[in-house]
Every structure is written in C-alpha cells, then in structure tokens.
Chain A
Amino acid sequence: MDLSAINPILFIAGFFVAATPLIFAAIGELVVERTGVLNLGVEGMMIIGAICGFATAVETGSPLLGFAAAAVGGAALSLLFAFLTQVMLANQVASGLALTLFGLGFSALLGQSYVGIKPPRMGDVNFGPLADIPVLGPILLSHDIIVYFGLALVVAVWAVLKYTRIGLTLRAVGENHDAAHALGFKVKRIRTLAIMFGGACAGMGGAYISLIRVPQWTEGMTAGIGWIALALVVFASWRPLRVLAGAYLFGGLVQLQLNLQGAGVAIPVEYLAMSPYVITIIVLVFLSRSRSAAPGSLGRIFHASS
C-alpha cells in the first residue's frame, strides 16, 4: 500500500470533472420536481444529449455548438414527456421510464455512423497567471468552460428559486397545484417549461460525457448516470446547493475508490466498488433527521376541472 501515490490536488481537481454530468442532470431534474413533476426519463434525455452533442460537434467542429445541440435534443425529447403527462395526463413514473427506453433506442439509431470517431477537443479555460496560484490554481482554475457553466447554473437556479417571482411561481405550482391554479397560474404551461429546462440540462450533462469526459460515442454510454442524478435530487432534499455537495460526494467517492485501488489498499475491490452507494445511504440516513419534505404535489396529475 502506498497512499503517498495519491496526489491530493489532482484528486480533488478530478471531482469537478466526475461531478459535472451529475450536476447538470440533477439541477435540471430538481427544477422539474420543484414544480411537482417527477420525470424518471433523465437517463434517456442524457443519452439523446450525448449523441446530439457528439454528432453536432463532429459535423461542425465546434464543441460549444455541440452543447447547444445537446440542450435542444434533450429538451425536444422531454417535450414528449410533457405532452404525455401534461396533455394526456399519463402516469409520470411510467412515462419517464418509457422515455428512457425510447431515448436509449433512438440515440443508438442516430449514432450508428458515429462509432469510433474522435470528437473535436474542448480546451481548458485560460486563467492566465491566476492558474499558477499554488493548490487553488490546479484545483479550481484548470477546467473547461462547461464545468464553470455547471457551477453557475446551480447558483442561478438557487437564486431564482429563492429570490425571484419566477421561483415563487415554480414552487407554488409544485407545492399545491390546485391552489396555484386558483391564484391564476398556468400550471401546465409552467410545468411544461420546467420539463423542457430539465431536458436541456440532462442533454448537456450527457454531452459532457460524450464530448469531454470520455470522449467517444458508443451505444448506452451514459451507463446509469441518469439514475444516480435522480437519486441525487432526493439526496439533496430538493435544494440546489446540496445538489452540488451531493455530486461532489458521489463523484469523489468513485474517484477515491479508484485511487485507493491504484495505491494498492488491501480492501477487497468489490467492496470498494460498492462503497459509493453504501456511503450515500449512510449519509442519507444522517441527513434525513432534518426531514425536508418533497414538493407537495410531486408526481400527482393535475387537471383543472372547471
């Protein structure tokens, strides 16, 4: 065993990359759930984003355009979910799962000709001399623009939910859609917009995997990250800043177990490999003492009976 092999600075810097797809997907889903809608189709929207982003980046040569396309692709797929749940009043759990199934299949069809291609590379942001600050420089200032965009997005969502009228509206719709309707809010329109926002975020999260973190296109490459993102929203008890903490915790645990393996720690590997999940449960048990309830009408169907 040789723990000195682990470089703490690089180790912590690695959190940012590992957590970014989770942050995007989770913050989008958080907004959706705050309006009272449970969309279990995150995995499907992520993978559609992954292929839309990848294909666009390859065709245009611009990763940024890729991210934009990923957002559009994810939002477009989420519209399907919005139509089912808001117009056709279908069950949200089943619709979300169906969306995942559909997304996985559809992305594979779209991506048939993109296997084995290298996408254009996205450079890191140049902070000039600031990046040379010891410790903080390599940890905080050595990433690509999407990492910072993700962080900004979380802060923005937090601020909007907490301080603005839009946030108030979103929360009102989520807590009690009948009351919100009585107050004159257009419940369905608001929810549809939130669902599209969630889709766009999940799409960008997927594109981060296919364009930066891996980067490659293969079928089913999101490999369950969408499910972790869903869990993260519950973990964060529907609060944006906690999403950040949760994503770093989870991403960090995965990094930690790989690092410990590399350093030859004598814990059986399979137990190391399951540790992120077990520790997440343990942390959750401690957190749940502070009972923070889910949005009041989460998962319930709204229909205005006039």
Chain B
Amino acid sequence: MTFTKRAAAKLLLGTALAASMGTSAFADGHAKTKVGFVYVGPIGDGGWTFEHDKGRLAVEKEFGDSVETVFVESVAEGPDSERVMTQMALDGAELIFTTSFGYMDPTINVAKKFPNVKFEHATGYKRADNVSTYSARFYEGRAIQGHIAGSMTKSNIIGYIGSYPIPEVIRGINSAFIHARKVNPDVQFKIVWAYTWFDPAKEADAAKVLIEQGADVVLQHTDSTAPQAAAQEAGNVITFGQASDMGQYAPFPRVSSIIDDWAPYYIARVQAVKDGTWSSTDTWDGIGAGMVGIGEISDAVPADVKEQALALKASLADGSYHAFTGPLNKQDGTAFLADGETADDGTLAGMNFYVEGIEGDIPQ
C-alpha cells in the first residue's frame, strides 16, 4: 500500500517536472535563452561574487536581447541552493552557473531531475552528462606574485593571509613560495589563517600583525582591500590585488594583481548552448585562456623584475612552463616531483601539503 502510494507520488512529481520543463524549455527556446546564476555572497562583496556577476553582465552585453540572465545572491549552500537551482530550472533556464564549491552535491541532485537543463559548477569535481565543472588556475598568478615578492622583499619575510586551509589556498601558497625562493633563497613565509571567508576587520588585523612582525610583502587569499590599506599606512610594504584589480591602491602599495575573469568562459558556454554544441567538460583555465588576469605591474616594481615577471607570465600562458615543475620536495623532505616533472592536475586539485622550505603546519 505505502509502496504504491510512494510510487504514485514520485510519478506525479516526475511528470509535473517533465511537463513544466517541456513547456518552458522548448516553447521559448528559439526566442530567448535563459541563463541562471547562483551566487554564494552578495554581488556587493567586491570580490568573488562581484567578479562572477561581472561575467554575467558581460554575457548580457554580448548577446543583448537573445539572452535573459537571472541570478539569486547570498544563497546558502545546502537545501537553499538546491531550491534556487530547481526554481531556475522550472522557470525555464537552459543553462545554470553555480558558483561555489559547496553547491557541488546540490547541483548534481538538481541536474538529475532536469536532464535537459545544462549546469556549470565552479571549482568542484563531480560531473554528469549535463553538468560541467570549471575553475581557474589562480596558482599561475601566484607564481608571478611570488617572483615579484621574492625579488622585492628586503626583510626576506613575506606575509600570507589565508582564509581556510583548503587545497585552493595551499596551492597558491606553494606556488608563490616556490617562485619567491627561486629568486631569493633566504625568503621566509609567515602564514596567518583568518578562519573566515569574510571579515574585513579581521583581515585588516591580520595584515597589520604580519607587517608588525617584519613582513614587507603581504599576499592575500581573502578578498577585501584591508591589507592594501594597512600596507599604505605602513608605507614600505607592497601588496597585490586579489579577485579584482584593486587599482585604487596602485601604483603603490598594490604593485600587481590577480583578477578573476569569468566573462570569456561564460560567453563561450552560453554560445555553446545557443548553438546546440554544449557538452559536459572539465575546464581548468589559467592565464593563457584569460580566466586568470594579471593586473598591470606598476612602476614601483624595478624594470628588470617587471620584465622577468612578464616573461614568466608569457611562458605560463603559452604552456612552455608549468608553475609546479620539479625538482621539488614536500615539506617533510620526501620527493614530490622529479627533475623536469610537472604536477598532474589531480595532485594539484587536492593539494594538502606544503612544499619543502615552508615552516609551520597546515591546520587540520
């Protein structure tokens, strides 16, 4: 009895979903392509979500009236995100970008219910026939920062503000450290974990602490301009913009930046849906494809360092150089990469160790 009831309910929901999809997805399929964006923060966060929304606006600009974009901001990971995605799909979105790692399982769940809707999940690793994943190789930008930082530091202490000890952040620290050491064997990293995604006051405090402890370069994996302001106050400290260019602090203390640029990818994927050529892919693009932008290197950087940095950027962009190239050891001294070997994407994606030379432990 219960079984039949359950089955009936399931069937009902299934047909209802299918019916609604049928009407919305196909009826106006030729007129306007509806594209949904699910954001984890407010678009006014000046960082992660702000940059994704710029990508959305670029899509609107590119396609004009033939595309309609919708978005919901500050969507909590978990059931809320699942509801918002479902709602967008019901409303006829043909392509939905879910822009936070925590949306991974919800995206897969909703994608199962809507086989005709395409999903694009940022920074995750689970895919399906109608779910692609995409992410940016920010560590390539970190390599350039590390090079400039290592060349310019006088105290040989480089401060690094991390959010949480996740592979994305650890990868950035390693990449920056490797390239700082390359030009300056005496360089040391001081790493402070904020243990928050977003708390500008705490980021400001962390930057000040690092500067007080002798760092004359501060790298940040947090999105506020607080470290830039602290560096300006101190007067002799350089910083790099994160997520957005932070050009208002150029040419000094901000000497360059890593910019998230999702626009080219978003435009390409929307085009693929319109052309009917969309297929499930795993994209991990870097400087070459333009997903990672390097903000203008300011005149505060000595000309020769700037030239080397640009050369490094060019070699990363055309693929002739990989930021993780051996010989490299892990922090405990065991071998990581042999001479000339480059790290594979799997290792990079789940990176949970420091390379040799970094002091301190990764919090567990």
Task: Give the interface of A toward B (CB within 8 A).
Answer: 5-7, 10-11, 14, 17-18, 21, 108, 111-112, 115-118, 209, 213-216, 218-225, 254-255, 258-259, 261-264, 266, 268-270, 273
Contact = CB atoms under 8 A, between A and B. Distances in A.
Report, as a range, how many residues of chain B touch the other chain.
Answer: 35 or more
Contact of B159 (A213, A216, A262): A262
A7 B45 contact: no
B1 to A, nearest CB: 45
Contacts of B44: 108, 111-112, 115, 218-219
A262 B213 CA distance: 7
B151 to A, nearest CB: 23
Nearest to B212: A10
Contacts of A213: 201, 204, 226
A261 B161 CA distance: 11
Contacts of A255: 205, 209
Contacts of B190: 5, 262, 264
A266 B362 CA distance: 10
Contacts of B363: 268-270
A223 B225 contact: no
Contacts of A112: 44
Contacts of A262: 159, 190, 192, 209-210, 213
Contacts of B210: 262
B46 A218 contact: yes
B71 interface: no
B200 interface: yes
Interface of B: 41-42, 44-47, 50, 159, 165, 190-193, 195-196, 198-206, 208-210, 212-214, 224-226, 229, 244, 248-249, 359-361, 363-364
23 contacts: A6-B212, A14-B205, A115-B45, A116-B46, A116-B248, A209-B201, A215-B226, A216-B224, A218-B46, A218-B200, A219-B44, A219-B45, A221-B200, A221-B201, A221-B224, A224-B199, A259-B209, A259-B212, A261-B209, A262-B213, A264-B190, A264-B360, A269-B165
Contacts of B199: 223-224
B190 to A, nearest CB: 5
A232 B214 CA distance: 32
Most interface-central of A7, A214, A220, A221 (chain B CB within 10 A): A214
Given A10-B212, A266-B361, A223 B205 contact: no
A118 B213 contact: no
Given A14-B209, A225-B201, A264-B360, A216 B225 contact: yes
Contacts of A259: 209, 212-213
B212 A108 contact: no
A263 B213 contact: yes
Nearest to A267: B363
A273 B200 contact: no
B364 A14 contact: no
A127 B191 CA distance: 35
Q: Which of B41, B165, B204 neighbours the largest number of chain A CB atoms within 10 Å of its CB?
A: B204
Nearest to B203: A214
Contacts of B364: 268
Contacts of A225: 201
B322 to A, nearest CB: 30
Contact of B229 (A5, A6, A214, A218): A214
A258 B46 contact: no
A216 B361 CA distance: 32
A223 B212 contact: no
Contacts of A218: 44-47, 198, 200, 224
B291 to A, nearest CB: 21
Contact of A115 (B50, B229, B359): B50
A173 B41 CA distance: 43
Contacts of B204: 213-214
Contacts of B41: 219
A6 B249 CA distance: 27
Contacts of A266: 360-361
B224 A5 contact: no
A268 B193 CA distance: 11
A254 B202 contact: yes
B193 A223 contact: no
Nearest first, the 3 A-B pairs at minimum CB distance are A269-B363, A118-B248, A219-B42
Given A219-B42, A258-B206, 10 more contacts: A10-B212, A216-B229, A220-B198, A223-B200, A223-B201, A259-B213, A262-B159, A266-B360, A268-B364, A273-B195
A95 to B, nearest CB: 24
B40 to A, nearest CB: 13
A117 B248 contact: yes
Contacts of A21: 201
Contacts of B209: 14, 255, 258-259, 261-262
B213 A5 contact: yes
A221 B225 CA distance: 12
Contact of A5 (B47, B196, B214, B249): B214
A219 to B, nearest CB: 4
A118 B249 contact: yes
B200 A6 contact: no
A254 B194 CA distance: 10
Given A116-B248, A259-B213, A269-B363, A214 B46 contact: no
A86 to B, nearest CB: 32
A111 B43 CA distance: 11
A214 B224 contact: yes
A88 to B, nearest CB: 30
Contacts of B212: 6-7, 10-11, 14, 259
A214 B225 contact: yes
